[in-house]
Structure 1
Amino acid sequence: MSEPVKEVGSVTGIYSEHVEWATNLGDKTIHAKRMPGRFRTLKYITESFWLIFFFGAYLRWNGKQALLLDVNNRQFHIFNLTILPQDIWMVSLLLLLLAMTLFAVTSVASRVFCGFFCFQTAWVDLFTWVEEKIEGNPNKRHKLDAAPWNADKILRKVSKHLIWLAIAVFTGISFTIWFEDAFVYWHDLMHFKLSMMEMTTLTAFTLGTYFLAGFMREQACLWLCPYARIQAVMADSQTILPAYDVARGEPRGKLRSGGKVVEQQGDCIDCFQCVQVCPTGVDIRDGQQLGCITCGLCLDACDSVMDKIGKPRGLIRYASLDELEGRPVKKLYQHPRTWVYIVIILLALGGIIYGLTHLGAMKLSVEPERQPLFVRMSDGSIQNKYTFKVLNKTDKDLYVKVSAEGGVKGQVIVDADKPQLVHHGKAAGFTVFVKAPAENVAGEVTKMQFRVENVENPTIAAEYNSVFRGPKR
């Protein structure tokens, strides 16, 4: 059978490329080998950041949960900050910042997020680590899978699945307590008082983690993850990714007696170590594959073999297609898309910083009465009516008092010494009357600024610019 012809940009070329992809369709279980190396160490470090997911919600601050996404009460608590629905635009900017960062990283180094940070990758790595500790190395696991059922096999399999289930349950609990107080949740869990929503969430995340990380593994990346599909359009010939240097490695051949390599032979000794360590079963020597998650473990495997046979490292390395084919390689700053991503990221980051620095503990809005604009009192004074709306962003109920600066000389706020109660995380509305001597009202509109401040702590305050209206002169 003749080799398929590759024509760049043609239907034949696209078809040929897909024919050469060696993708595991789930008909066999991949038992990847674990080898030490710099990328394996880096993978352990990046995956350890997920410990924040497990334990971050237990952090307390001033007697309360430091990080709480209180969806029921429509509040996000981050230490002393309380983000309410009025500030949700900052959450949108945060999501935009994360998305643009992901796109920028993908355009530069392909699917490094999948290989080092993705929760599916991290949990699969944890589950397979448990599997290795109980069932042994990949060869032993393959033999155990093929062996008939006996007491030893049952014990090992049951032990593995019980630990998997324990991790899955803890994952479900850890997810839920980000949305409600951890101590209250554990109390309700231990006393079987969880609500239907809480129980449903726990069950869904437990079963999802158990089946996705324990059984589907790389199949979830291949067929369920949308990022695996869209990342291809973010990469080009300048994107660096794990690549096999064909010019240096071919033709392949086994080592001769005495560990010698034939002179005409390439550096690849066909040891298959790069395939055995791949968590998705990819043979990187066949070119870029659909299942490659850019984890770099094949680099560790190949480098260790090159060290043993006295060859330089880098037969498999992070490289771009242009580099491998000898074309000029652009610097990172020479890519127009890089600057587009940087601008969007900086704008989103600037918006978030502005929002956080101007968040405040209290927000005030004032709406002057429109009908009528003012009232002439029996004593001849002019009175304006205002509707105040005060939003308390703190976690405590506050009593506030009203004052004003500017306006008309001799103006008086009616019942200014009467504090108004504003409940925590909520807005309170009340009416304020301001009156001034008629002879001091110089024009139809006089600018003034209202201020509300906490009775106990005047630093918790908010201002709002408004006007005092009077008759025409």
Structure 2
Amino acid sequence: MSDNKIQLENLYEEGDQWVQNLGDETIHAKRMGGIFRNFKWLAIIFWTPFFIGPYLTWNDKQAILFDMENRQYHLFDITIFPQDIWMLTMVLLFLAILLAAMTTVLGRVFCGYFCFQTIWTDIFTWVETKVEGTPMKRRKLDKAPMSFYKLKTKLIKHAIWMSIALFSGVTWMLYFGVTWADYFNADISTITLTITVTIASGAYIFAGFMREQTCLWVCPYARIQGAMVDNQSVMPTYDHYRGENRGKLKKGEFVDGNGDCIDCNQCVAVCPTGVDIRKGQEYGCITCGLCIDACDSVMEKVGKPKGLIRYTSLAELEYKQAPKPLYKRPRVIVYGSILVAALSILAYGMSTLAPMDLKVLHDRQPLFVQLSDGSIRNKYELKVMNKTDKDMQVDISFESPIKGLKFKNSLDLVTIPTGNVKSIFVYLSAYENNVGDDYEVTFVVKGAQSTLEYKTSFFTPRSMR
């Protein structure tokens, strides 16, 4: 066994190697430039639509609006009603499986770049850096006794934090039809105020104070993600074969027996969760890649090749195996199949989303009545729903092979209010002698944008025998 291998085994046998910050101290991560830091800035832009969405208009109305009072959900030209809420199930299924698929392929890359907790924490710590200074200055300020300077600095930071948190809470409620004027005029309900304060407080506490502790103690995903990865998952990994033994090094120098890691701890200094990637994967790692930026910068300065810490898989690092194609990985195949199925069902639902809905209920008590002239009458309740944002006029007619079947009342140009279901009672009558073996009746509801049909039956004493 090589000396390097023995050293590695001793390294991982040491009891103090697997260390996780459990909230005993505040992580003040150093900010460094690099490709993965740039990716994180781009990820922040990913959340920009959240803040501009409520202000978009479409056809002189709010483009994205969740109208809970009228049970209407508007997304530009699309209006979704509770009857179509099954599509939300497909959306949630798609996002959940997409998260699992991303984890299988790239580890917790969602946590590192796109999770709202990560984004808000990154913004809050950026503000902290601008107000309080470098990590070293922030640590000194935390330990320093209270003074006018410390009080002023802390008040400025927390005022900005609370402004961002409150803006986030208000923005969320704007999607539900609340306006800034409602807040300024104190014309908001207790529920609206409670939700706003809850979201603002959550952002302030989770992003400002708990930070990585939110991922460790609150978010269940950090606990279960270990079951989603395998030895083919690509994650930030320290190449211990190349890096060990560690030792201080100056540019151009060579120390016999030392690896490329110069033990500068820059990878730990930039980690937003305080993880030492050199000790192996820990569930605190959110795979953001900032340690790669730090290590590559140091390797460049000391004249070593980049990639001591890099995105790679365990199979590639330990066994020098090329990554398997995605189509040869069972987990990816299963996740991909579910994703395609959910997306297909969702696409079908969106493409067949009609501007109105029709249901016909046949009166069952009684199924029919016999009139004084000997004819048989059936009663139907037509439930027509207007799924548009304007009142709709429809014509109601029927088709049937039954001879002499007729309406009792005229149903031309019936008005259906926007977003409402209107019950229309229809009476059809015919003489039993004119009713053959085919009892089918098809109601036709014709509107300006679409025509719907609904098949039912016409009952007579003979049909019940």
Q: Shared fold (TM-score greater than 0.5)?
A: yes
| Structure 2 Cα separation of the partners of residues 369 and 86 of structure 1 | 23
Mapping of 1:29-40 within 5 angstroms? 29-40=26-37
Mapping of 1:20-419 within 5 angstroms? 20-178=17-175, 180-182=176-178, 185-256=179-250, 259-326=252-319, 328=321, 329-378=323-372, 381-419=375-413
| Structure 1 Cα separation of the partners of residues 387 and 37 of structure 2 | 45
In the alignment, residue 350 of structure 1 is paired with which amino acid? Answer: S
The CA deviation string for residues 411-461 of structure 1, in whole angstroms up to 9 with x for no partner, is: 433333444333322212121122346664333x3323211133xx2x243
Gaps spanning 5+ residues in structure 2: where?
1-5, 7-11
> Kindly tell me: are residues 54 and 287 of structure 1, through their superposed partners in 2, closer, same or farther at Cα, counting changes over 3 Å?
same
Match of 2:3 in 1: none
SS at match of 1:158: helix
| More displaced stretch, 365-374 vs 375-384 | 375-384
SS at match of 2:83: helix
Cα deviation for residue 378 of structure 1 reads 4.9
| Structure 1 Cα separation of the partners of residues 67 and 102 of structure 2 | 31
In the alignment, residue 105 of structure 2 is paired with which amino acid? Answer: V
Gaps spanning 5+ residues in structure 1: where?
1-5, 7-14
RMSD: 2.3
The CA deviation string for residues 225-259 of structure 1, in whole angstroms up to 9 with x for no partner, is: 11111111111222111100000111111114x54
Cα deviation for residue 217 of structure 1 reads 0.8
Q: Is the contact between residue 380 and residue 426 of structure 2 (CA under 8 Å) also seen in structure 1?
A: yes
| Structure 2 Cα separation of the partners of residues 403 and 418 of structure 1 | 8
| Structure 2 Cα separation of the partners of residues 48 and 335 of structure 1 | 32
| Structure 2 Cα separation of the partners of residues 434 and 419 of structure 1 | 19
The CA deviation string for residues 452-471 of structure 1, in whole angstroms up to 9 with x for no partner, is: 133xx2x2432212233456
| More displaced stretch, 324-333 vs 263-272 | 324-333
SS at match of 1:20: coil
What is the TM-score when the length of structure 2 is the normalising length?
Answer: 0.91
In the alignment, residue 183 of structure 2 is paired with which amino acid? Answer: L
SS at match of 1:404: strand
Cα deviation for residue 19 of structure 1 reads 5.5
Q: Is the contact between residue 380 and residue 425 of structure 2 (CA under 8 Å) also seen in structure 1?
A: yes
Q: Is the contact between residue 407 and residue 449 of structure 1 (CA under 8 Å) also seen in structure 2?
A: no
SS at match of 2:96: helix
> Kindly tell me: are residues 66 and 17 of structure 1, through their superposed partners in 2, closer, same or farther at Cα, counting changes over 3 Å?
farther
| More displaced stretch, 306-315 vs 91-100 | 306-315
SS at match of 2:390: coil
Q: Percent identity?
A: 51
Match of 2:454 in 1: 464
In the alignment, residue 149 of structure 1 is paired with which amino acid? Answer: M
SS at match of 1:325: helix
> Kindly tell me: are residues 407 and 81 of structure 1, through their superposed partners in 2, closer, same or farther at Cα, counting changes over 3 Å?
farther
| Structure 1 Cα separation of the partners of residues 237 and 203 of structure 2 | 31
SS at match of 1:148: coil
| More displaced stretch, 327-336 vs 275-284 | 327-336
The CA deviation string for residues 268-300 of structure 1, in whole angstroms up to 9 with x for no partner, is: 111111111110111101111121110011111
| Structure 2 Cα separation of the partners of residues 417 and 219 of structure 1 | 64
In the alignment, residue 128 of structure 1 is paired with which amino acid? Answer: T
How many residue pairs end up in the alignment? 452
In the alignment, residue 77 of structure 1 is paired with which amino acid? Answer: H
SS at match of 1:69: strand
Match of 2:417 in 1: 423
SS at match of 1:153: helix
Q: Is the contact between residue 403 and residue 416 of structure 1 (CA under 8 Å) also seen in structure 2?
A: no
| Structure 1 Cα separation of the partners of residues 13 and 415 of structure 2 | 72
| Structure 1 Cα separation of the partners of residues 170 and 13 of structure 2 | 47
> Kindly tell me: are residues 57 and 428 of structure 1, through their superposed partners in 2, closer, same or farther at Cα, counting changes over 3 Å?
same
Cα deviation for residue 36 of structure 1 reads 1.2
In the alignment, residue 397 of structure 2 is paired with which amino acid? Answer: S
